[in-house]
Amino acid sequence: MSRPPLFFIHGMWSRPRVWAGLRAHFEALGHATHAPALPFHDAEPGDPPPPQLGEIGIGDYVAFLIEQVRQLPEPPVIVGHSMGGMLAQLVAERVQPAALALLSPAPTATTASLGLAPLRTTFGITTQKSWWKRPTMIDRDRARWGIFNEVPADVAEREIDALIWDSGRVLFQTAMPWADPAKGAKVDYARLAMAALVLVGDRDRITPVSTARATARQLAGQVDYVELPGVGHWLFHEPVVGRVAAEIEAFVKGLPAAA
């Protein structure tokens, strides 16, 4: 039985470490896994922000990921969380992977919609002067409310401690695609005809259910759509990560290449 490689893309303010549990699960099943750090995300919590994060945009992240995918011996299943789910779609448009698994995907230019919860989550950043030209870091209270809701308090505090700086320009391109001259978050959905899994928690506040549903509607291929009841944005703690692993496993087993 063929077991396609899995290529994991982490989200904003995050690092590849978040995939450790899922990578171990799928490697035990015989899959090769890959989880690169996005440019300037090989930092440690508490490090000062790299100045390049004031300039880097979505296109830079996508170009880096395309090069990483093209080094693999066969097309992978691309798995992205949050911003990684948005980046996964842009990469897939160009490299045509075996399949897509989009977990709590951030909006693209086509699937973006205004919502009070995402605005509340990022308000501490987007009210700062020239925030779109600077590295960004979400503050603890808004991270706790908008990213780590429904997560046990001790786990949430550890994960907040692990956050690192990210690009204000990328946040701007994602949150306000209509104002982005580069159209960095614009996806050609006609090219996304591969099978896809779209998974979201029904209590997600920063990339809400409305975005996941819009993403599922836009994708051109067969889509498995899953809403996890009682789950927020963060999907990497038990027992939630076990449910996510089971959904991805069932999806991958159902792919024609895995038969």
Over residues 54-80, the pLDDT tens digits come to 889 999 999 999 999 999 999 999 999
> What pLDDT band is residue 126 in, cutting at 50, 70 and 90?
confident
pLDDT tier, 257 (very low <50, low <70, confident <90, very high otherwise): low
Question: pLDDT tens-digit profile of 136-188?
Answer: 999 999 999 999 999 999 999 999 999 999 999 999 999 888 888 999 999 99
How many angstroms separate the Cα of 98 from the Cα of each of 44, 108, 191, 247? 33, 21, 13, 17
pLDDT of residue 112: 79
Fold assignment, 6-258: Rossmann fold (3.40.50)
* pTM given for the model: 0.96
Q: CA 239, CA 233: separation in Å to the nearest integer?
A: 14
Amino acid identity at 109: A
CA separation for the pair 34, 128 (Å, rounded): 36
Cα distance between residue 98 and residue 186, in whole Å: 21
The residue extents of the domains of the chain are: 6-258
Distance CA 92, CA 88 (A): 6
| Average pLDDT over the chain, rounded to an integer | 94
pLDDT one-digit tens code per residue, 95-124: 999 999 999 999 999 997 767 888 888 888
- Once rounded to an integer, what is the mean pLDDT over residues 196-214? 97
pLDDT of residue 114: 64
Res 259: pLDDT: 40
Q: How does residue 254 score in pLDDT terms, banded at 50, 70 and 90?
A: very high
Task: Determine the pLDDT at residue 258.
Answer: 45
Dihedral of CA 10/35/248/77: which sign?
positive
| C-alpha closest to that of 39 among 22, 23, 21, 15 | 15
- In the numeric block, the tokens 């979505």 are attached to 58
Does the N-terminal peptide bond of residue 73 adopt cis geometry, omega within 30 degrees of 0?
A: no
